[in-house]
Amino acid sequence: MSRIVYVNGKFLPEEDAKISVFDRGFLFADAVYEVSSVLNGKLIDNEGHMWRLKRSLDELEMQHPASAEEIETIQKTLIEKNGIEEGLVYLQVTRGAADRDFTYPANTKPSLVMFTQKKNLLESPQAKVGITVITSPDIRWQRRDIKTVSLLAASMAKMQAKAAGADDAWLVEDGFVTEGSSSNAYIVTQDGTVVTRHLGNEILAGITRKAALRLAEEEGIKIEERSFTVDEALAAAEAFVTSATTFVTPVVSIDGQKIGDGTPGPIAQKLRGIYMEEALKAS
């Protein structure tokens, strides 16, 4: 069934939505995006996503196509028009269309595109049994803190994982895990400390990461934001990932080696439970 999508001021059937071939998002991946999850027809953690969108735009000196309030109104209209109870709203801002040139063109109008996708978020089979990951060199660029649509390296890592019979990849740089291909990565040490990479240019500041760390702290769980090696991950009691659409998802094996007893760990399950409880309360 055709969706109603949003393109530069218009709500249109997806077949009628068009973007210029000169759009810099298409030519240069000169574009940033956000994905907000939807539960019970309501946006989850959207304020955080709007904050990060602003930051990504500012880092790239890109014009804001609309205010956060205007964007949220469009998101809500799309949710309603497409009858989304559970799923996501994707939004993308590009620098707009201009003659092909590496330098940023002056005064182009940014493009704003948004669409919805239905997805079962609450009853995820992967969350029940946990996911398997392989490790793969992190070949992405060095500004991973900006959420750009330049996702080919992440896509390649995911394909490599699938070819190896795994669900996803954890990316590794200088011997340390940076993050998952589309998630933040965590381990739980044998003494029950949650360890995840510190923020910086090397990883995306996950909105779900922020919420998960706050909830873990409220539960009295010890947290360390620092680099960890693949060996440390292999020796961990548990591992898990977070992202807007997967919430907290346990990782049960890395490079074919079981983590803990090879089933979802208690801390990951607890954090998933309290994250979803809070999200459902807000929704």
* Chain residues that interact with ligand PMP, rule: CB under 6 A: 35, 179, 182-184, 204, 206-209, 242-244
CB contact burial 268-283 (16+ within 10 A = b; e otherwise): bbebbebbbebbeeeb
CA 203/CA 188 separation, integer angstroms: 19
Nearer to ligand PMP, 82 or 208 (CB): 208
CB of 35 to ligand PMP, least distance (A): 6
- The count of C-alpha atoms lying within 13 angstroms of the C-alpha of 55, restricted to the half-sphere facing its C-beta, is 17
Query: At 265, which amino acid appears?
Result: G
Q: Is 147 a catalytic residue?
A: yes
Nearer to ligand PMP, 30 or 179 (CB): 179
- Whose tokens are 């809070």? That residue is 278
* 146 CB burial (10 A radius; 0-12, 13-18, 19+): middle
Nearer to ligand PMP, 82 or 184 (CB): 184
Of 18, 147, 222, 258, catalytic: 147
CB of 36 to ligand PMP, least distance (A): 9
CB of 179 to ligand PMP, least distance (A): 5
Which pairs with CB-CB distance under 8 Å and at least 24 residues apart come from 10-18? 11/77, 11/78, 11/81, 14/115, 17/113
CB of 170 to ligand PMP, least distance (A): 11
Nearer to ligand PMP, 35 or 60 (CB): 35
Nearer to ligand PMP, 84 or 204 (CB): 204
Spell out the alpha helix ranges (H) of the chain. Answer: 24-28, 46-59, 68-81, 125-129, 152-163, 207-218, 230-234, 266-282
CA 282/CA 52 separation, integer angstroms: 20
CB of 183 to ligand PMP, least distance (A): 5
Question: Which residues are marked as active site?
Answer: 147
